[in-house]
Amino acid sequence: MADRIPYENTLAAYWEQRRRWEGNISVVGRQSQAVVGDLNRLKTFKTGRALLSCVQVCGKEILIDTDSETLSESQYSGEKPVPKLEPKLASTLSCNARVVAWPRKGVDYWSTNADGTAVGSTVAGRSNGRLTEFPGTGKGMRAAVLYAPSRFQNCFILTRVDALFHELVHAYRAARGHITSCRVEGDDYEGVAEGCVAGQIPHFQRTGMGEFYAIVLTNVLRSERGDTRLRGSHASHIVLPEEVADSQAFLANTAQKNALLRFAAEEPLLFRKLAVLKEIPFNPFAALFS
Ligand SMILES: [Zn+2]
């Protein structure tokens, strides 16, 4: 019987075909052309340019993989896939995109994930088949964004560009080594959900800190586009109630305000670029110190 090529090698060979877009952002796969179109569209928005310019100088290469969105985490980590998870994965991913670690030669997947994780936090993974908590190193990691534009034809209120932007927020946090681990009950984002705001923020009850940031930033982009419907949860498709879809009302909640202050301290460059966009109707980053 012929030797089977280890899966991680075929994935590495496929990722080697990537094409540079701008700065350290690359794209690979059959839907690359559409993703380049989405990146160019994102660049037409001030909020989009604020994030893209930070991602482009974050010191880590970010790959957008437009084909591999149906693969499970186990396939990236080189572990044996768990067959019973596959049908569920296929359906939940129909309106989803993800960020995964991009392993380096000779460095395993979970060590790479630990580099995206903040010091003092842990990331759950497997070592010799056993579930283990890996301590974050905070070094930052190369991140691959699994984003296939064809999946985003009808995803709640979100557009394709919203979905791409959301994942780039996660990729930036991973590149900066700022992911903090917290499993939020009821949220579907396991393992690398960042921090906990559950129970403190009234309209984001079941949302990890990393998702909270990605959602609030994407809401600023939506507002810049003139859309008044803002996303209000990660775990379910909820529109942010009208009474808090306003920068000052949003900051009137202490937990929400503290979460954004923490963001300003952790991501000062991105925060400064967002804080000057005072003309955007919903922009709590601009309202934070005014
Ligand atoms: Zn997310």
Question: Distance from the CA of 214 to the center of ligand 1, in angstroms?
Answer: 6
DSSP readout, 125-188?
Answer: EEETTEEEEEEP--S---EEEE--GGG-SSBTTB-HHHHHHHHHHHHHHHHTT-B-B-PPTT-S
Amino acid letter for position 87: P
Question: Distance from the CA of 210 to the center of ligand 1, in angstroms?
Answer: 7
H or E segment at 119? none
Residue environment code for 181-200, b if the CB has 16+ CB neighbours within 10 A, otherwise e = bbebeebebebbbbbbbbee
Question: Distance from the CA of 186 to the center of ligand 1, in angstroms?
Answer: 14
Taking the C-alpha atoms of residue 168 and residue 92, their distance in angstroms, rounded to an integer, is 20
H or E segment at 1? none
- Residue 19 has a CB neighbour count (10 Å cut-off) of 9
Question: Distance from the CA of 206 to the center of ligand 1, in angstroms?
Answer: 13
* pTM: predicted TM-score of the whole model, two decimal places: 0.87
pLDDT digits (tens), the chain, 290 positions: 344 445 566 777 888 899 999 999 999 998 999 999 999 999 999 999 999 999 999 999 999 999 876 555 556 666 554 443 333 333 444 567 888 888 777 777 788 889 999 888 888 777 777 778 889 999 999 999 988 888 777 788 889 999 999 999 999 999 999 987 655 444 433 333 344 554 456 666 556 778 889 999 999 999 999 999 999 877 667 888 888 899 999 998 887 888 899 899 999 999 999 999 999 999 999 999 87
The alpha carbon of residue 231 and the mean position of all alpha carbons in its chain are separated, in whole angstroms, by 15
Question: Distance from the CA of 101 to the center of ligand 1, in angstroms?
Answer: 15
Question: Distance from the CA of 276 to the center of ligand 1, in angstroms?
Answer: 25
Question: Distance from the CA of 67 to the center of ligand 1, in angstroms?
Answer: 19
